[in-house]
């Protein structure tokens, strides 16, 4: 037994403990796999475990330490990776049958940078197939369960990445966020989830969903862990022409200076949306009071076009997805239908056999919206609505440094509750989608537990383009004032071993 409990050890303390010789990187990896042995048969957060890679990385860290070298920022920190990111030595399945046997042949830049910073790749995390969904129920390999209540979903699409952090099976993880797929599972599992500004993190090596919307980002138990991870993965990349040359800041050093003087805008019109629970609304009002008490200037703002975000997104997202998923044709990789009579037959049956129901739905919706006769009415109109949403945010950020909304309209729901009507599932991303359409940054921070369900709730803090330092500074101030206990009862029942706090 390693005797290390990752649920109470932030990333920086793991690195420092390894640097000071308190324990080794191998023992940090042991701690992750012990927790996985204890819990993952119930939680099912991992699709593949990669102990060979993790222990090889740990040995490199331990050798650096033995040689008296400086350790990198995430040295020995156990990390989970969403299964839509390539890493040589792992399969990259996107939780789809069509890529069931796909072996990565190159590395995703963000993953490579995470590992270069010393993190240990513990395994690949479950997700909704091709990141289509908000519950992981669309995984071809079975859903992930929420560590706070195994009868409830962990959110999605990065539900596995959220659950591994919530359950202490890794300290940090990478997810991807196209319409809320990091922030929504962050809120539902009591973890911190950041969607960086579009272009802040390279998209090279992630299997594309919506190319103008996708962004890789971190999950952590603390804002500082998320800041450290962002520092490691952010920055320009020659392999992604949409990655930004904007300099990477020392996000972790912007924390701990409070919220005094920050201009905080509560997004009033979105808060009044139908379907938003009373207690969830109260989260935002309480957060506004918290920020005021910390010396921030709190005001109200409206984003009148943001309510059309959901409709615009369900045109633009599927349109881009239908184009991106055209590459799965049974020719170069992935599932190929048996005994095809000709190439058209091979395409059509390989795709129909390989894609799950939600993928087929999105491909159909996107293809329809882009087809002759409907393009202007749907896709063109959605692109114009997108412009209006961007203008709303521009105006809001002239008056405010950060904006507040709930992350989700409700807490984690039960399995099967929303599978009959796809649109009820889509509504889960009402608050998160406008940020993907505009391309700025946002983070979900745990705000407390719902009194009726005991499930975590999340506050969404929205920042301006490339304003991650301000965003995370505000998030850290809120986190400190809230004092949320991020350890779920399931983990507490295991008995806490050696902690770092």
The binding site for other proteins (CB under 8 A) comprises 101-103, 105-106, 198-199, 212, 238, 241-242, 244, 308, 310-312, 314-315, 322, 326, 329-336, 340-349, 351-352, 355, 360-361, 363-365, 367-368, 371, 374, 377-378, 380-388, 390, 421-423, 426, 437-439, 465
Strand partners, 48: 124
Shortest spacing between CB 303 and other proteins, in angstroms: 15
Contacts with 318 (C-beta within 8 Å, 6 or more apart), sequence order: 362, 363, 365, 366, 369
d(CA 448, CA 378): 39
What is the rounded radius of gyration, in angstroms, for the C-alpha atoms of the chain? 21
The smaller minimum CB distance to other proteins, of residues 228 and 438, is found at: 438
Query: Which residue is catalytic, options 7, 96, 135, 157?
Result: 157
Alpha helices in 400-462 (DSSP H): 422-426, 433-438
User: How big is the CA angle at 306 (ends 303 and 307), to the nearest 5 degrees?
Assistant: 115
The smaller minimum CB distance to other proteins, of residues 35 and 203, is found at: 203
The smaller minimum CB distance to other proteins, of residues 103 and 116, is found at: 103
Strand partners, 301: 267
* Rounded alpha-carbon distances, angstroms, from residue 78 to 28, 155, 394: 7, 22, 38
d(CA 159, CA 183): 10
Contacts with 285 (C-beta within 8 Å, 6 or more apart), sequence order: 266
The smaller minimum CB distance to other proteins, of residues 140 and 365, is found at: 365
Shortest spacing between CB 236 and other proteins, in angstroms: 10
- Cβ-contact 136, 415 below 8 angstroms: no
Shortest spacing between CB 203 and other proteins, in angstroms: 13
The smaller minimum CB distance to other proteins, of residues 63 and 326, is found at: 326
Shortest spacing between CB 242 and other proteins, in angstroms: 6
Query: Which residue is catalytic, options 24, 82, 124, 243?
Result: 82
Is 82 catalytic? The answer is yes
| CB neighbourhood size of 3 (10 A) | 11
Q: Work out whether strand 78-82 and strand 172-177 pair parallel, antiparallel, or are unpaired.
A: parallel
Q: Work out whether strand 263-267 and strand 192-195 pair parallel, antiparallel, or are unpaired.
A: unpaired
Helix (H, G, I), strand (E, B) or coil at 91: strand
Shortest spacing between CB 311 and other proteins, in angstroms: 4
The smaller minimum CB distance to other proteins, of residues 168 and 205, is found at: 205
- Cβ-contact 367, 375 below 8 angstroms: no
Shortest spacing between CB 364 and other proteins, in angstroms: 6
Is 444 catalytic? The answer is no
Contacts with 20 (C-beta within 8 Å, 6 or more apart), sequence order: none
The smaller minimum CB distance to other proteins, of residues 9 and 466, is found at: 466
Residue from 88, 169, 89 nearest 126 by CA: 169
The smaller minimum CB distance to other proteins, of residues 189 and 359, is found at: 359
d(CA 159, CA 148): 13
Query: Which residue is catalytic, options 171, 176, 181, 243?
Result: 181
- Cβ-contact 232, 194 below 8 angstroms: no
Shortest spacing between CB 374 and other proteins, in angstroms: 8
The tokens for 323 are: 């184009």
Residue from 26, 84, 71 nearest 52 by CA: 26
Shortest spacing between CB 129 and other proteins, in angstroms: 15
Is 104 catalytic? The answer is no
- Positions marked catalytic: 82, 157, 181
């Amino acid at each position: 037994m390693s005797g290390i409990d990752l649920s109470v050890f932030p990333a920086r303390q793991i690195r420092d403990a390894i640097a000071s010789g308190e324990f080794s990187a191998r023992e940090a990896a042991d701690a992750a796999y012990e927790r996985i042995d204890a819990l993952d048969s119930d939680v099912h957060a991992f699709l593949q475990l990669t102990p060979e890679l993790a222990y090889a990385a740990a040995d490199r860290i331990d050798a650096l330490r033995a040689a008296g070298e400086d350790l990198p920022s995430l040295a020995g920190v156990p990390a989970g990776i969403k299964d839509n990111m390539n890493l040589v030595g792992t399969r990259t399945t996107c939780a789809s049958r069509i890529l069931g046997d796909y072996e990565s042949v190159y590395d995703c830049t963000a993953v490579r940078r995470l590992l270069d910073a010393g993190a240990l790749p513990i395994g690949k995390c479950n997700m909704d197939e091709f990141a289509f969904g908000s519950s992981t129920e669309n995984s071809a390999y079975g859903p992930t369960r929420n560590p706070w209540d195994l009868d409830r979903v962990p959110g999605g699409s990065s539900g596995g990445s959220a659950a591994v952090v919530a359950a202490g099976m890794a300290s940090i993880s990478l997810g991807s966020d196209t319409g809320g797929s990091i922030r929504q599972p962050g809120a539902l599992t009591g973890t911190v989830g950041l969607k960086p500004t579009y272009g802040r993190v390279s998209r090279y090596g992630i299997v594309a969903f919506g190319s103008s919307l996708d962004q890789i980002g971190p999950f952590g138990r603390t804002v500082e862990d998320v800041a450290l991870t962002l520092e490691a993965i952010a920055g320009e990349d020659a392999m992604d022409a949409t990655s930004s040359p904007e300099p990477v800041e020392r996000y972790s050093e912007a924390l701990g200076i409070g919220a005094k003087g920050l201009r905080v805008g509560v997004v009033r019109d979105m808060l009044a949306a139908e379907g938003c629970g009373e207690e969830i609304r109260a989260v935002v009002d309480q957060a506004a009071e918290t920020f005021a008490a910390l010396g921030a200037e709190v005001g109200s703002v409206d984003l009148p076009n943001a309510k059309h975000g959901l409709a615009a997104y369900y045109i633009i997202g599927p349109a881009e997805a239908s184009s991106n998923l055209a590459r799965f044709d049974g020719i170069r990789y992935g599932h190929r239908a048996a005994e095809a009579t000709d190439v058209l037959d091979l395409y059509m049956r390989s795709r129909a056999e390989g894609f799950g129901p939600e993928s087929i739905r999105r491909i159909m919706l996107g293809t329809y919206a882009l087809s002759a006769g409907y393009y202007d009415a749907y896709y063109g109109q959605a692109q114009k609505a997108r412009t209006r949403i961007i203008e709303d945010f521009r105006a809001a950020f002239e008056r405010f440094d950060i904006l507040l909304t709930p992350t989700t309209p409700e807490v984690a729901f039960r399995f099967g509750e929303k599978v009959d009507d796809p649109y009820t599932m889509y509504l889960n991303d009402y608050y998160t989608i406008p940020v993907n359409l505009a391309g700025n940054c946002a983070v979900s921070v745990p705000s407390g537990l719902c009194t009726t369900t005991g499930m975590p709730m999340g506050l969404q803090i929205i920042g301006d383009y490339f304003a991650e330092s301000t965003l995370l500074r505000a998030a850290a101030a809120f986190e400190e004032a809230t004092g949320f206990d991020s350890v779920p009862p399931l983990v507490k029942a295991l008995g806490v071993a050696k902690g770092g706090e």
